Chains A and B, each alone.
Chain A
Amino acid sequence: MNEKKVYIIIIILTLTLIIYDHLTSPVLSISSPGQTEEACAPCGAPCKEE
């Protein structure tokens, strides 16, 4: 299959999914999962409590 066509299909599909997700999900503020108190790593996973 033509490379450019595949690229365009992926971009359009991704854009559609982002817009769908955005319209069906709330937005309070922009944040990273590591910005929570329990986070022990940038992905937001906590460490075991001593």
Chain B
Amino acid sequence: MLIISNIGIFTLLTLAGLFLGLLSFFDSGSQGIILLLLGISLGGVFLFFQYGFASGWRSLIVNKNPSMISCHFLLASLCCVIFIPLIELSPNIIGSYAPVNLSLLIGAFIFGFGMQLANGCGSGVLFTFGSGSTRMMVALPFFIIGSVIGTFMLPFVIDIMSLGQIIIAGNATVIYKTLVNFIALFGVFLLFHMYVRKRNIMIDKKLLLGTFAVAILCVLVLIFSGSPWGVTYGFTLWGAKLFQSVGIPIESFTFWNYSGPKRSLEHSVLSDTSSLINIGMIIGAGLLASMIGLFSSAKWPPKVELISAAIGGLLMGIGARLSFGCNIGAFLGGTASGSLHGWIWFAMAFVGTYFGIIYRDKVGFR
């Protein structure tokens, strides 16, 4: 028999999910409800498998344990096998492509640093917030504010030292392009895996299962939304709408006059892919957390960690906009689409993570 530990929160989130699902269904049919359901599944899967990016990267730097980061590359290689052929062959599906420029380098570094301060990346903030993390109740609002600040900055820096979009094996056939990208991603997985074996560490079976589950959900998001999964644009849009509601003329800023952002600002949040999945993810993680009693253990962390979460959230928001996404949209979506920016994003965010860990040590994170 299923025992629900926090029946109140479970009921609230179930009603919220049903109501938003219905609203979305009435307006945009099955696509809305499917994306919300995929978000709910992602929230549940990320929480159940504790699928984190920030902790996995920290584990490599601090404990010399690359098992989690190796799974991130396995995830990207699995996704790329499906992503690239679908992007190339279907006119309704686009890849996660972005330019290689100065803002990518700086933004990814800032993101990696902020990720360690907040103790979670874009997806991490979402699913841990959904499961009642008090730290993320602080990090998420600042992430949202930071991402709006990032939209003010991006138009001024997007063309500085820009090489444009660089697609790996861009002129090759679909098969060759898929193969080249798969070999690169799977090759990094194997390198990490060799290191794992050398250190006599076993990759957790649960982590591997989680990787396959996330890969399947990412492919479904691509098929049903027409673009790779992205987390941070939803935050940006929520922030812009909030700023607008208090009288800040967001609509007059350059970024919000680009046709894509302009369209999303003028329409309901439930018509934005990223927002729908994000909302679903919070609900999915919250439902699972309320079933397994995670809310009972939620406590406020020390003040220094809350302040760090706020700074980390703000930095991640700015960094995500400057570098065209987070671990999901830029690293996973970018590398799995065959875009060079995904690899550069990883390298710079990893350097940022290293300095973020030094900061954590200095301020005495638990």
A22 nearest CB neighbor, chain B only: B268
- Residues of chain B within 8 A of A28, CB atoms compared: 267, 271
> What's the Cα separation between A43 and B259 when bound, in Å?
10
Asked whether B20 lies within 8 Å of A27 as measured between CB atoms, the reply is no
Q: How far is the CB of A15 from chain B (nearest CB, A)?
A: 5
Tell me which residues from 235 to 270 in chain B have a Cβ below 8 Å from any Cβ of chain A: 236, 241-242, 255, 258-261, 263-264, 266-270
Residue of B nearest to A40 (CB): B99
CB distance from B287 to the nearest CB of A (A): 12
Residue among B27, B134, B137 making CB contact with A27, cutoff 8 Å: B27
Q: How far is the CB of B51 from chain A (nearest CB, A)?
A: 21
Contact B272 A31 (CB under 8 A): yes
> Would you call B280 an interface residue if the criterion is a C-beta within 8 Å of the partner chain's C-beta atoms?
no
Interface membership of B365, Cβ < 8 A:
no
B298 within 8 A of A: yes
Chain A contact residues (Cβ within 8 angstroms of B): what range?
35 or more
Cα–Cα, bound, A21→B227 (Å): 24
Tell me the bound Cα distance from A28 to B273 in angstroms.
13
> Is B225 in the interface zone, CB < 8 Å from A?
yes
With beta carbons under 8 angstroms apart, the residue of A15, A27, A34 that contacts B227 is A34
**Complex interface residues of chain A between 20 and 50 (CB less than 8 A to chain B):** 21-22, 25-48
A12 (CB) vs chain B CBs: closest residue: B12
Q: Which of B155, B226, B267 contacts A35 (CB 8 A)?
A: B226
* Cβ contact of B241, chosen from A7, A10, A21, A41, cutoff 8 A: A21
CB neighbours (8 Å) of B263 from chain A are 31, 33, 36
Interface hub of A17, A18, A37, A45 (most chain B Cβ within 10 A): A45
Q: Which residues of A contact B16 (CB under 8 A)?
A: 11, 15
Partner of A47, one of B137, B158, B271: B158
B165–A3 touching, CB < 8 Å: no
**Nearest CB on A from B225, distance (A):** 7
Known contacts: A35-B226, A43-B260. The answer to whether A48 contacts B324 by CB under 8 A is no
Name the one of B12, B164, B227 contacting A11, with C-beta atoms under 8 angstroms: B12
Q: Do B268 and A32 touch (CB < 8 A)?
A: no
Is the Cβ of B32 less than 8 Å from the Cβ of A4?
no
From A7, A17, A36, give the contact of B260 (CB < 8 A): A36
Which residues in window 141-180 of B have CB below 8 A to A?
154-155, 158-159, 162, 164-165
- A contact residues around B155 at 8 Å (CB): 45
Instruction: List 7 tightest A-B contacts by C-beta distance, closest first.
Output: A44-B260, A33-B260, A41-B98, A27-B27, A25-B268, A48-B159, A3-B298
Query: What are 23 sample pairs from A and B whose C-beta atoms fall under 8 A apart?
Result: A7-B295, A17-B242, A19-B23, A27-B27, A28-B271, A29-B28, A30-B32, A31-B263, A33-B233, A33-B258, A34-B96, A34-B260, A36-B259, A37-B259, A40-B164, A41-B158, A42-B96, A42-B230, A42-B325, A44-B260, A45-B255, A45-B324, A47-B162
